[in-house]
Amino acid sequence: MNLSLKILSLSSLVAALFLTGCDQKAETEATATPAIPLDPYFTPTAPTNPQAIGAIRTTAKPGDEVTISGVVMGREEPFVDGRAAFVLGDPAKITPCNKMPGEDHCKTPWDACCDTPEAKREGTATIQILGADQRVLKQSIKGAHGLKELSTVTLTGTVDKASTAEAFVINATALHVSN
């Protein structure tokens, strides 16, 4: 066997061992934190008597159960990457660009870029799903049951203990998506 063939064989062996090690690491990480099914959090029918985000955020206190309705909007990236959390906007307070008069050429109409920061603050809520450990689930909720930017969502949940007048946060227990 000539030297270049030996080097090529040795290089191939090292690469194979490296790739096998990576596969085992990825497999171990995947089994260490299994995804919790999101299906139980979604309902086939919308919760009844939802209130507008803009109205409820001024009266709800941490621990209160609330039912709200809104549209996934208010930020350029309304979904939190790798977490079961997103921003829900009140269409009575903020407007996505595709609902503005005139032609819409906006690539991200859900960011409501024409609204003021104050209107966005008053008209949005952060929605999150908590696990048994009371932490936001470490998995994306985007796409679950058709949930995407500009989806209409009605939900029931509890106002989070960390919720404030500046950052209204709801721990969702039942969500209904209509697109």
Query: Which pLDDT score, from 0 to 100, does residue 119 have?
Result: 96
Percent of the chain whose pLDDT exceeds 70: 80
CA dist., res. 46 & res. 156, Å (int): 9
60 in Cβ contact with 66 (< 8 Å): yes
Query: Which pLDDT score, from 0 to 100, does residue 14 have?
Result: 34
Query: Which pLDDT score, from 0 to 100, does residue 105 have?
Result: 72
Query: Which pLDDT score, from 0 to 100, does residue 100 have?
Result: 83
- The H or E element spanning position 128 is strand 124-128
- The H or E element spanning position 14 is helix 3-32
How confident is the model over 68-83, as pLDDT tens digits? 999 999 999 999 999 9
CA dist., res. 49 & res. 53, Å (int): 13
Mean pLDDT (the chain, rounded): 84
CA dist., res. 93 & res. 126, Å (int): 15
Nearest alpha carbon to residue 85 among 133, 145, 130, 146: 130
Q: 20: burial class by Cβ within 10 Å (0-12, 13-18, 19+)?
A: exposed
Phi and psi at residue 101, to the nearest 5°: -60, 150
Please identify every stretch of the chain with a pLDDT value under 50, giving residue numbers as ranges.
1-32
Query: Which pLDDT score, from 0 to 100, does residue 5 have?
Result: 37
- The H or E element spanning position 99 is none
Query: Which pLDDT score, from 0 to 100, does residue 25 have?
Result: 44
CA dist., res. 74 & res. 134, Å (int): 25
Query: Which pLDDT score, from 0 to 100, does residue 53 have?
Result: 97
Q: What is the pTM of this model?
A: 0.80
CA dist., res. 108 & res. 97, Å (int): 8
Query: Which pLDDT score, from 0 to 100, does residue 18 have?
Result: 35
